[in-house]
Amino acid sequence: MTDLPPDLPRLRTLETWLVLALSEVREAIAAAEQRERERQRGIEARPPAPDWLLELGLNRAAPPVQVHVGGCWNSGKRVRGVTREDALRALAEGVKACSACRPDSKLGFLEG
pLDDT in tens, 19-42: 999 999 999 999 999 999 999 999
Contact 68, 103 (CB under 8 A): yes
- Extended beta strands in the chain, E state: 52-55, 66-69, 79-82, 96-97
What sign has the CA pseudo-torsion 58, 64, 66, 71?
positive
The domain tally of the chain equals 2
**Does residue 58 share a domain with residue 41?**
no
Residue range of the domain that includes 93: 52-107
**Does residue 68 share a domain with residue 28?**
no
92 is a domain residue: yes
**Does residue 30 share a domain with residue 15?**
yes
Partners of 96 in the beta sheet?
Answer: 66
112 is a domain residue: no
**Does residue 73 share a domain with residue 40?**
no
- pLDDT one-digit tens code per residue, 71-93: 899 988 899 999 999 999 999 99
**Does residue 61 share a domain with residue 31?**
no
